[in-house]
Amino acid sequence: MAKNLKKAFSMTDLVIVIAIVAIFVVLLVPTLTSIAERPADVADAHTAERMNVLLKAQEEQNGKPKTMSEVVDLMAEHGYLLEKMVAEDGQTFAWDEENNRFVLLSSSGEVVYSDGDATEDNNKLWQVVDEIPVLEEEDTRYSYYLSSSFEGTEVSVMNGVDVGEHTGIDVLYNSAALEEVTIRTNGGTLTIKALNATVNHYGMAESVHIQRIAKDSYHLYGQVQGTVTLVEGIAVLESGSSADTVLLAPINNVAENVILRVSDSASLSAIAARVQSVLDAASIEAPASVQRIVAA
């Protein structure tokens, strides 16, 4: 009867087995890691989906929100306190103003979740912040809503900003980029130094100083208690807006550098200039009831 011979593993066989096991480990670890992380990701995505349902319902009734403040208030009514909401893995919830939906941003600023189209314009992505980040020119910039934890009396931004519930904050918008931004103030002074921008201004301000807005334009949708000073560019008082006075103050009194448009349903007491020639030569469209005066 033949003997059963058992052959032991050779060193070569052992190396091959170890190599195969190593390959399986390399292939499985990312999958297992993804499975482990998935519950948190799914929970954040579901939260964004539920908030988007609220946004769409509101949009069907009243149109898209114009400011981040409107979004914050709507979410708070339904128990979502945005400034206290923290997503997993360094991600953040951001409101896509263009498409009126919440998305999830990774720590590097990439959109990692959206239940539809996502804007490619970072100025249309709004984040809730405790302070305005200090950024270099090449850094990705978003628009910011100031949380209740913000401390300060002034902000300088190169993007959109909404001061939230804070009052009397002075805002300086200073940018050379070709962009459209939304700014919401609640008192204080708004100063604009923008080479190529279009600025949509909501809320209330004590005064507005437009140092430069090139051939694009400043659009007022809110209220200015005092004077809107226009040094260069186009200012438009939209329907329902109000201001006490618009002062046309072009450098060297070059009237061609300022353009004013006032809606018939806007409220404006007077259009002023320091010399009569500016009032005569500037491009002005306004109701006949608005006074035109030479200011001292």
pLDDT tens for 222-259 read 999 999 999 999 999 999 999 999 999 999 999 999 99
Instruction: Tell me: do 99 and 170 sit in the same domain.
Output: no
Q: Answer whether residue 14 is part of any domain.
A: no
pLDDT in tens, 112-144: 999 999 999 999 999 999 999 886 666 678 999
- 21 sits in which H/E element: helix 11-62
**Is 23 within a domain?**
no
Q: How many domains does the chain have?
A: 2
Backbone phi and psi for residue 182, each to the nearest 5 degrees, phi listed first: -110, 130
Whether 238 is in a domain gets the answer yes
Q: By three-state DSSP, how is residue 49 classified?
A: helix
Whether pLDDT at 57 is above 70: yes
Containing 127, the helix (H) or strand (E) segment is strand 125-129
Given 117, 151, 185, which residue is the final one in a domain? 151
Structure tokens at 255: 């009237």
Residue 220, amino acid: L
Count Cβ atoms within 10 A of the Cβ of residue 281 and give its class: 0-12 exposed, 13-18 middle, 19 or more buried.
middle
The per-residue pLDDT for range 153-168, each reduced to its tens digit, is: 999 999 999 999 999 9
CA distance 183 to 176: 16
The radius of gyration computed from the CA coordinates of the chain, to the nearest angstrom, equals 28
Q: Read off the pTM.
A: 0.84
Name residue 218's beta-bridge partners.
199, 235
Q: Is residue 233 part of a domain?
A: yes
Q: Please indicate, yes or no, whether residues 218 and 89 belong to a single structural domain of this protein.
A: no
How many other C-beta atoms are found inside a 10 Å radius of the C-beta of residue 18?
10
| Confidence band of 216 (pLDDT split at 50, 70, 90) | low
Q: 295 is written with which tokens?
A: 């200011």
Same domain, yes or no, for 129 and 253? no
Classify residue 108: in a domain, yes or no. Answer: yes
End-to-end CA distance of the chain: 125
Q: Tokens for 44? A: 């954040």
Largest CA-CA distance found in the chain, in angstroms, rounded: 125
Pair (59, 95) in one structural domain: yes
* Structural domain harbouring 270: 163-296
Claim to verify: residue 172 and residue 270 sit in the same structural domain: yes
- For the chain, count helices (H), then strands (E): 3, 20
Is 17 part of a structural domain of the chain? no
Same-domain check for residues 129 and 219: no
In this structure, the dihedral spanned by the alpha carbons of residues 233, 238, 243 and 248, taken in order and rounded to 10 degrees, is 20
DSSP state of 64: S
Phi, psi of 239 (to 5 degrees): -55, 130
Record the tokens describing residue 89, joined without a space.
């893995």
Report the C-alpha gap between 91 and 98 in whole angstroms: 20
Give yes or no: residues 94 and 200 share one domain.
no
List Cα–Cα distances, 59 to 66, 119, 163, 192, 257, in angstroms. 11, 18, 23, 30, 39
Mean pLDDT of 18-41: 54
**Model pLDDT for residues 175-203, shown as the tens digit of each residue:** 988 899 999 999 999 999 998 899 999 99
Whole-number pLDDT of residue 286: 97
Percent of the chain past pLDDT 70, that is, above it, reads: 84
Domain co-membership, 50 together with 113 = yes
Mention every residue, 6+ apart, whose C-beta is less than 8 A from residue 233. 210, 212, 213, 214, 215, 216, 217, 218, 257, 258, 259
**82 and 186 co-located in one domain:** no
For residues 150 and 165, what is the distance between their CA atoms, to the nearest angstrom? 10
